[in-house]
Amino acid sequence: MRAALPKLASAVLVLVVAASITFFVQLLLPGDRATVILNLQNGRDQEWPAAEVAAVNTRFGFDRPLAVQYLDYLAGLFRGDLGDSYTEFRPVTEVIGAQLWPSVVLTVGALIVAWVIAVTVTVLTVRRGRFLPGLGSSFEAFTASLPHYWVGMLLLVAFAVQIPIFPVIGGDGLAGTVLPVLTLAIPLSGFLGQVLRDEFDKVLDQPFITTARTRGMGDTAVRLRHALRHAVLPGITLSGWALGALVSGSVIAENIYGRPGIGQVLVSAVNNRDVPTVAGIVLVVAAIYVIANLLVDLAYAVVDPRLRTS
Amino acid sequence: MSTIAPTSVAVRPGTVVAGAFVALVVVAAVAPQLLTSGTPTQIDLRNALATPSWSHPFGTDEAGRDLLTRVIHGTGLSLGIGLGATGVSMALAIVLGAVAALVGGVVDTVVTRILEVTFAFPSLLAALLIVAVYGPSVTTSIVAVGIGSMPGYARMVRGQVLAVKQSGYIESAHALGHSPWTVFRRHLLPNAMRPLVAVVTLGIGQSIVWASSLAFLGLGVPPPSPEWGALLDAGRNYITTSWWLAILPGLVIVAFAIAVTALGRSLQQRLEGAAR
Amino acid sequence: MTRTSPFRRAGVVGIGLALAGSVLAACAGGPAGGSGTRVEGGTITYAHVQEPPCIFGGWIQQAYISRQVLDGLVTQDTDGSIKPWLATSWTASPDGLTYTFALKDGVTFTDGTPLDAAAVAFNFDQWVTTQLNGTAKVSIDPYYRAAEAIDATHVAIHLNAPYPQFLTLVSQGYFGIQSPTALRTRTAAENCEKPIGSGAFVVDQWRKGQEVVFKKNPNYTSWPATAKHEGPAYVDELRWKFVPDALSRYASLTTGQSDVVYEIPTVNWKDAQAKFATTIRYITPGKPVSFFINTVRGVFTDKLVRQAFAHGADRRGAVEAGFHGVIPYEGNPSVSQSTPDYNSAAADAYPFDPAKANALLDQAGWTARNPDGVRTKDGQPLAVKLVYGAGSIFTSEGATVLQALQEQWKQVGFAVTLVPATRAELTSGQYSDPSTYDALPSYWTSPSPAILWIVWRPSTPEKPNGNNRSFYNNPQLSQVIQDANTSTDPERASQLYQQAQQIISDDAAGIGLYTQNTLVAASNGLKDFWLEQSQGEPVFSDAYLVK
């Protein structure tokens, strides 16, 4: 418990720094915020007369000194107020909240499915004769090299257009989630599988495995009950990184399948220079990432009893 | 330093194929005119969307441009971005990771925090912001992908340097009277980096895939760039009517990523064999 | 020893059967045909592209969607004439300065507020004095003086100069009437998301990133005179989905998931025409997608160079090939072919003629060439920076057309650099200054040639005109357009509008490319879906599903 406090403090620091960086980077973006807002509201791309720009500046508080705007923003963060979106006149928390769940379903689902595929392929193909291991590792090398958007395109055309098993416009229902999850899970399973395979291979050489076998344990049982536990450790570390990569990948999946989610919100917010929304999303993603890391540490402790006592 | 001669590792046929393909890709990147006489911007609107044939092995795109020529000319761009991004990543990673591990203390804590922050930024978000500020271009793609992949490498470098530093190996090098810089250059860095060779080559493949993802989202090199991801983005709308536009460049990307990964692993095995 | 699981084989067989079954199902189905029996109620699914920030506003996308919930005073019929809607009749004063509208009796907004003259007057006031709708404002601003509620059902709009185009302009979706109670008492966010009007539908829910769900307004009494039936909408629900990916959008129609789809990719158009009974190609009136040419800085300050640019590439050929013949070429840079008072002579003014282009450039002094074949003069290359809205204004096919033209311009010695601008860059105003581009293709939608004034009004320090992206300040042109706008003689007005187009064409202040289009297809299970005339706004209040 005592170890948790400094971790928590540094987690908060990470979040604040992430949000601050986003706040300031957005000020580097070309053009003036009032102009962008006026253009967006009217579907134009021009310059606006000074009077109208000034009105927007006052309304959103852009004419205050930068330091004041920043501190105001930080203060809001600690209150749980992420500000209002420039384009939707709604609180950012609402904008993000409404689309957060589909993204969470997508990323967590993809991670789980990736693990299932990786574990299945590895357990079934490591060290089983001459042909299978090569096949298994080729499969993993192939899937790891697949670009997400390519897999997404092909799955969409194969299973929603040519053979209409799944709906083309998925929305966030269950049927519409299968293909996006597969799109993200397949390449990730290749990565996880490669790492898992290497570890698994090394573990199968360990003395305790031989002991288990001499005690009469069947091969599958040995693999599942003894070897797997040890082999998954590097994979768990990788999962922490994977969650971050999945967030990036979810932007692509949402783009291809027209699926709602924060990836999509992010892209349009960056395009619209909606500073509060972008900063809000960065914050949310960073928070998820920090939580994911804590969970990874927990998972380690669960899988590896040696770490529990430390 | 080990004085045992490196044991020769039998070269598998798969590695030979991978090596040959990578060599071909490098030739395409450096001297595309050796492989094709056409130009990637040869527009011929009457010949648009032609199916693959003897004169157009990969077919033509919506502007009548020969797809194979475009893929060959796009190699330099894709490979350049992949290598550039990996270079940027590794350079930053080595600096940050080695400094953190060697100096230790406060510097280590600060650097680890910085890495955590950058880790928390999804690489695509970093790319979006950079492209939004500086506009889409080759340089932006390199920087965006490079910075996005840096934290992972930095952590690995840091871990490796720490491991080598704590092994008795470095102490004995010091005891032999070598200067710290020599120790770093000749002993620490090579030993720390060796296990990362496979990771780096995998990283090149991944950087190319990520750069092409950026191009797919419209954030990469502007058209009519023949960069592989841009080709797939352009082909996306024709996938049901002219499949070759969306399938063939994708196969090239995947094949190259696999080949580079296979080479990397075999290289890693050789180096580890040599080190024993 | 490993034993094969007894279930493995069953699993394989099961998967095989499932796949076979789905393939068979796919083969058996096809686009559903309807014999014509009307289904009561039901849901229409419409796949649109762009999701707007608010339901109503100055963007054409907002005119499309706000039409479902807001009614207008008048509407435009297919022959261009103005027909009644909320206003059952109207009179114009002899001096053309006052339009008096008689409103339909008993119409209420869905929040209960009566739709009376005061409500209409309030809306007009809001458009001109606030940012409620920037396009409504810029359409009537210089001519509008005041709106006056004479009694409960009569409202007068007072102008400060005769403006015969007034009625045509007001028929656009930007002029939908909102409830004054809603505008006064609710927050901007609420009105943005669920505006209150008197229309055939009300906004039930807006699931951002996905769809807007409209529900039928059962008390609808104010349908336009052009409606295909009298009464409230047939269907209970309209799901207006946002599907930016062209492949998914068209596939949703062919797989039956959507009933109507917007922006059919041109490469699928022939297929759509073969499969579906209702396919509409609407050529948008207004300013076509044409090049603004920077007349104040860079190489195009010289008229000869502009004209050489117009002659130098085969714009017609590129457009027809690039869009597979689906989108028409438009040679007239200022007014598109579906707009009233279109000048077709101006459209043919600059045919593809490389010899002439070369001659003009030689005449202009660009006789030297650098090693790349680009013409030079005093050491400066003939460089053209062409900025275009990638994805927002130009689809990938449009981008291909530009690339084809780039190659052709190179042949006569222009070095054209294509700069695809993202939406972020455009909305930030990055390319609004003369130093940032030489050519900028874009469009304006408008049912009236009065668009000429909005776009080509000279920009002055007191009243800058950000829409004049050629920075072309021609006092003669300005006078001609103003005369046309205020002329009460329709013949003379038409003549003047055409003269204005001729001036712009002669000076090559703009160069034509293609018309803005709306390509829509509806499944065979949907009838009486149509696009209204002024802007191609989709109308669902008459549509019904059939079995």
Task: Check CB contact under 8 Å for B119 and A245.
Answer: no
Residue owning tokens 């349009």: A268
Q: What is the mean pLDDT of chain B?
A: 79
Mean pLDDT along residues C509-526: 95
Q: Which residues pair with C292 in a beta bridge?
A: C440, C510
**Per-residue model confidence (pLDDT) at position C232:** 95
Nearest Cβ partner of B237 from C247, C317, C425? C247
**Per-residue model confidence (pLDDT) at position A29:** 66
Q: What's the CATH class of domain B66-271?
A: mainly alpha
Q: Are A251 and A107 in contact (CB under 8 A)?
A: no
Give the Cβ contact number of residue C369 at 10 Å.
13
Among the listed residues A191, A189, A174, the one whose alpha carbon sits nearest the alpha carbon of residue A106? A174
pLDDT of B221 over the 90 cut: no
* Highest mean pLDDT, choosing among A19-23, A257-261, C410-414: C410-414
Q: Are C458 and B166 in contact (CB under 8 A)?
A: no
Q: What is the pLDDT of residues A195-232, one digit of tens each?
A: 888 888 888 888 878 887 888 777 777 777 777 777 77
| Shortest Cα–Cα distance, B199 to chain A (Å) | 11
Residues in chain C: 547
Q: What is the pLDDT of residues C122-174, one digit of tens each?
A: 999 999 998 889 889 988 988 999 999 999 999 999 999 999 999 999 999 99
Which chain A residues contact residue C210 at CB under 8 A? Answer: 171-172, 258, 260
Task: Check CB contact under 8 Å for A35 and C429.
Answer: yes
Determine contact: C134 vs chain A, CB below 8 A. yes
Sheet containing C368-369: order of strands: C368-369, C375-377, C380-381
pLDDT of A2 over the 60 cut: no
Q: What is the pLDDT of residues A13-25, one digit of tens each?
A: 777 777 787 777 7
Give the number of beta-carbon pairs within 8 Å between A and C: 171
Nearest Cβ partner of C244 from A36, A95, A258? A258
Task: Check CB contact under 8 Å for A252 and B213.
Answer: yes
Task: Check CB contact under 8 Å for C58 and A89.
Answer: no
- Going from the C-alpha of A79 to that of each of A15, A76, A290, B227, C533, the distances in angstroms are 14, 5, 20, 46, 51
Determine contact: C386 vs chain A, CB below 8 A. no
Q: Are C186 and C151 in contact (CB under 8 A)?
A: no
Lowest mean pLDDT segment, chosen from A63-67, A154-158, C88-92? A63-67
Q: How confident is the model at residue C20 (pLDDT cuts 50, 70, 90)?
A: very low
Task: Check CB contact under 8 Å for A90 and C255.
Answer: no
Mean pLDDT along residues C478-491: 92
Chain C residue with CA closest to A216: the answer is C1
**Per-residue model confidence (pLDDT) at position B208:** 84
- Put simply, the chain C residues between 410 and 429 with a CB less than 8 A from any chain A CB are 422-429
Q: For chain B, what is the largest distance between any 2 Cα atoms, rounded to a whole number of angstroms?
A: 75
Task: Check CB contact under 8 Å for C427 and A270.
Answer: no
| Shortest Cα–Cα distance, B131 to chain A (Å) | 10
Task: Check CB contact under 8 Å for A31 and C425.
Answer: yes
Nearest Cβ partner of C209 from A38, A99, A160? A99
Determine contact: A247 vs chain B, CB below 8 A. yes
**Per-residue model confidence (pLDDT) at position C4:** 41
Q: How confident is the model at residue A179 (pLDDT cuts 50, 70, 90)?
A: very high
Q: What is the DSSP letter of B184?
A: I
Residue owning tokens 């603004």: C292
Residue owning tokens 């973006």: A29
Determine contact: A157 vs chain B, CB below 8 A. yes
Question: Beta C286-293 vs C510-514: how paired, if at all?
Answer: antiparallel
Looking at chain C, which subunits does it touch, using at least 3 CB pairs closer than 8 Å as the criterion? A, B
Chain A residue with CA closest to B261: the answer is A141
Q: What is the 3-state secondary structure (H, E, C) of A147-197?
A: CHHHHHHHHHHHHHHHCCCCCCCCCCCCHHHHHHHHHHHHHHHHHHHHHHH
Q: How confident is the model at residue C6 (pLDDT cuts 50, 70, 90)?
A: very low
pLDDT of C195 over the 90 cut: yes
Determine contact: A294 vs chain B, CB below 8 A. no
- The interface pTM score, or ipTM, of the predicted complex is 0.79
Determine contact: B226 vs chain C, CB below 8 A. no
Q: What is the pLDDT of residues C236-277, one digit of tens each?
A: 999 999 988 888 899 999 999 999 999 998 889 999 999 999
Task: Check CB contact under 8 Å for A29 and B122.
Answer: no
Mean pLDDT along residues A179-205: 88
**Per-residue model confidence (pLDDT) at position A26:** 67
**Per-residue model confidence (pLDDT) at position C82:** 95
The token pair that represents B73 in the structure block: 């000319």
Task: Check CB contact under 8 Å for B63 and C322.
Answer: yes
Nearest Cβ partner of C267 from B41, B233, B241? B241
Give the count of alpha carbons within 13 A of C242, CB side only: 22
Mean pLDDT along residues C322-348: 94
Q: How confident is the model at residue B157 (pLDDT cuts 50, 70, 90)?
A: confident
Q: What is the mean pLDDT of chain A?
A: 81
Mean pLDDT along residues C365-378: 92
**Per-residue model confidence (pLDDT) at position C191:** 92
| Shortest Cα–Cα distance, C406 to chain B (Å) | 10
**Per-residue model confidence (pLDDT) at position C30:** 40
Q: Which residues of C touch B (CB under 8 A)?
A: 245-247, 251, 265, 267-268, 317-318, 321-322, 390-391, 396-397, 399-400, 403-404, 407, 418-420, 422, 424-425
Q: How confident is the model at residue C28 (pLDDT cuts 50, 70, 90)?
A: very low
Mean pLDDT along residues A163-172: 84
pLDDT of B148 over the 90 cut: no
CA–CA distance, C205 with C208 (Å, rounded to integer): 9
pLDDT of A308 over the 60 cut: no
Q: How confident is the model at residue B122 (pLDDT cuts 50, 70, 90)?
A: low
Q: What is the DSSP letter of B38?
A: S
Task: Check CB contact under 8 Å for B63 and C390.
Answer: no
Handedness of CA B74, B79, B82, B85 (dihedral sign): negative
Phi-psi region of C25 (alpha: psi -120 to 50; beta: other; left: phi over 0): alpha
Mean pLDDT along residues C435-453: 93
Determine contact: B241 vs chain C, CB below 8 A. yes
Best of A23, A137, A146, A150 to substitute, by most chain B Cβ atoms within 10 angstroms, is A150
Task: Check CB contact under 8 Å for B119 and A157.
Answer: no
**Per-residue model confidence (pLDDT) at position B146:** 86
* Highest mean pLDDT, choosing among A119-133, B166-180, B206-220: A119-133
CA–CA distance, A227 with A208 (Å, rounded to integer): 9
Q: How confident is the model at residue A3 (pLDDT cuts 50, 70, 90)?
A: low
**Cα distance between the two ends of chain C:** 60
Lowest mean pLDDT segment, chosen from C2-16, C207-221, C415-429? C2-16
Q: What is the mean pLDDT of chain C?
A: 89
Which chain A residues contact residue C1 at CB under 8 A? Answer: 219
Helix axes B138-166, B123-134, angle to 10 degrees: 140
**Per-residue model confidence (pLDDT) at position B275:** 58
pLDDT of A1 over the 70 cut: no
Angle at A240 between CA A238 and CA A243, to 5 degrees: 105
Helices (H), C413-489: 423-427, 451-456, 475-486
**Per-residue model confidence (pLDDT) at position C295:** 95
Task: Check CB contact under 8 Å for B120 and A244.
Answer: yes
CA–CA distance, A120 with A126 (Å, rounded to integer): 10
Q: Which residues of B touch A (CB under 8 A)?
A: 113, 116-117, 119-125, 128-129, 132-133, 148, 152, 205, 209, 212-213, 216-217, 229, 232, 236, 239-240, 246-247, 250, 253-254, 257-258, 261-262
pLDDT of C23 over the 70 cut: no
Nearest Cβ partner of C466 from A46, A98, A219? A46
| Shortest Cα–Cα distance, B178 to chain A (Å) | 36
Mean pLDDT along residues C482-508: 94
Q: What is the DSSP letter of B254?
A: H
Question: Beta C526-527 vs C98-103: how paired, if at all?
Answer: unpaired
Q: What is the 3-state secondary structure (H, E, C) of C133-150?
A: CHHHHHHHCCCEEEEEEE
Q: How confident is the model at residue B46 (pLDDT cuts 50, 70, 90)?
A: confident
Q: What is the pLDDT of residues B223-274, one digit of tens each?
A: 678 888 888 888 888 888 888 888 999 999 888 888 888 888 788 777 777 6
- On whether the pTM is more than 0.90, the answer is no
**Per-residue model confidence (pLDDT) at position C9:** 43
Lowest mean pLDDT segment, chosen from A132-136, C210-214, C504-508? A132-136
**Per-residue model confidence (pLDDT) at position C176:** 96
What is the identity of the amino acid at A164? P
Is the model more confident about C22 or about B158?
A: B158
Q: What is the DSSP letter of A81?
A: -
pLDDT of C12 over the 60 cut: no
Q: How confident is the model at residue C18 (pLDDT cuts 50, 70, 90)?
A: very low
Q: How confident is the model at residue B216 (pLDDT cuts 50, 70, 90)?
A: confident
pLDDT of A101 over the 70 cut: yes
Task: Check CB contact under 8 Å for C265 and B222.
Answer: no
**Per-residue model confidence (pLDDT) at position C205:** 94
Residue owning tokens 């949402």: A254
pLDDT of C428 over the 80 cut: no
Helix axes C246-254, A148-156, angle to 10 degrees: 20
Determine contact: B48 vs chain C, CB below 8 A. yes
Coil/strand/helix, residue A271: helix
Nearest Cβ partner of C257 from A49, A89, A169? A169
